[in-house]
């Protein structure tokens, strides 16, 4: 029997229209979107189904919206398949905001609490750095050590040391860096000089997962201190440790650290494979994580479900 890990995507996977088909076809999905709308006092579902790409891409909207779609897919699978997440998955994991989706899926957070925390997280991350002062970039064809050396060199600028650090170790030679715009731009020049296959700025609104996000980490620390968190029904592989998180106190600490530290996705996938996982199932919008898994653990099976037909196909595999 396959050993499954359920994965939950992060920012960048959002598209206008996501979840619309699910809401039309399944009461379980409609209930998720309605609860999130009521919790946030916003017709977020309308924005997801038929809004503008610019509005949906706003961090404070994209984060709870992506979580809502992921949980809607999970609830449909549970309703149609007649079993719970804990009966299907050995572990769960999510990329950046997707870790909140994973925790909600595993019962550590209620759906409403996850939506409120992600709305706050998105707002705090956007406010942490004035527009234009930060940047993120992708280094394609660079391994972790090479990217770290590039960041160390780029941080030493003409006006003193600046922030530039690894934000995401996505695996398959894909590393994302984040920090002060000038330092990130220097890193791109250095990467090109060193022959990195492709080095490019990313169209993002803030420099996520770096030390410049410290103000947002403080906001999340205060919010998570009083947040009700239960031990998850299945272990969650945390972004910043690439290890199991099962205790509420540890989960709080890891989520605060996640705001300023590296998303260790490559190591997380390898950790799940070491636990015996040989089937990775992505729930929600897009197939980004499935693609990354294929590069990191090429012998593992992958599947993704975000539409009714994909859910039908997935239920035959589970």
Q: How far is residue 22's CA from residue 35's CA, in Å, rounded to a whole number? A: 15
Q: What does the pLDDT read at residue 316? A: 85
Cβ(68)–Cβ(197) below 8 Å: no
Q: How far is residue 148's CA from residue 91's CA, in Å, rounded to a whole number? A: 29
Residues of the chain falling short of pLDDT 50: none
The pTM for the full model equals 0.96
Structure tokens at 91: 């572990």
Q: How far is residue 106's CA from residue 86's CA, in Å, rounded to a whole number? A: 7
Strand order, beta sheet including 91-94: 244-245, 236-237, 91-94, 4-8, 279-283, 301-305
Q: What does the pLDDT read at residue 205? A: 83
The radius of gyration computed from the CA coordinates of the chain, to the nearest angstrom, equals: 19
Q: How far is residue 104's CA from residue 92's CA, in Å, rounded to a whole number? A: 10
Which segments of 114-250 are extended strands (E)?
Answer: 134-140, 156-157, 160-161, 164-171, 174-180, 198-201, 236-237, 244-245
Residues annotated as part of the active site: 96, 209
């Amino acid at each position: 029997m396959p050993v499954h890990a359920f994965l939950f995507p992060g920012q960048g996977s959002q598209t206008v229209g996501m979840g619309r088909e699910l809401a039309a076809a399944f009461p379980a999905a409609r209930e998720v979107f309605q609860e999130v709308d009521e919790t946030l006092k916003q017709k977020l579902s309308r924005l997801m189904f038929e809004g503008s790409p610019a509005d949906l891409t706003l961090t404070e909207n994209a984060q709870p919206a992506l979580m809502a779609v992921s949980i809607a897919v999970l609830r449909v699978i549970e309703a149609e398949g007649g079993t719970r997440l804990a009966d299907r998955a050995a572990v769960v994991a999510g990329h950046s905001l997707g870790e909140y989706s994973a925790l909600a899926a595993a019962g550590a957070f209620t759906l409403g609490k996850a939506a409120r925390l992600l709305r706050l997280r998105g707002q705090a991350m956007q406010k942490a750095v004035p527009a234009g002062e930060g940047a993120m970039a992708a280094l394609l064809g660079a391994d972790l050590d090479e990217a770290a050396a590039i960041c160390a060199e780029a941080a030493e600028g003409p006006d003193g040391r600046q922030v530039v650090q690894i934000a995401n170790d996505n695996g398959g030679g894909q590393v994302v860096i984040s920090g002060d715009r000038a330092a990130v731009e220097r890193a791109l020049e250095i990467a090109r000089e060193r022959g990195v296959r492709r080095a490019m700025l990313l169209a993002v609104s803030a420099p996520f997962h770096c030390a410049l996000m410290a103000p947002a980490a403080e906001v999340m620390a205060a919010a998570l201190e009083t947040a009700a968190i239960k031990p998850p029904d299945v272990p969650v592989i945390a972004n910043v440790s690439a290890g199991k998180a099962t205790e509420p106190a540890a989960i709080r600490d890891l989520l605060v650290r996640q705001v300023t530290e590296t998303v260790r996705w490559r190591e997380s996938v390898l950790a799940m494979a070491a636990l015996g996982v040989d089937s990775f199932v992505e729930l929600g919008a897009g197939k980004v994580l499935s693609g990354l898994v294929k590069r990191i653990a090429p012998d593992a099976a992958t599947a993704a479900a975000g539409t009714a037909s994909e859910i039908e196909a997935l239920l035959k595999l589970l």
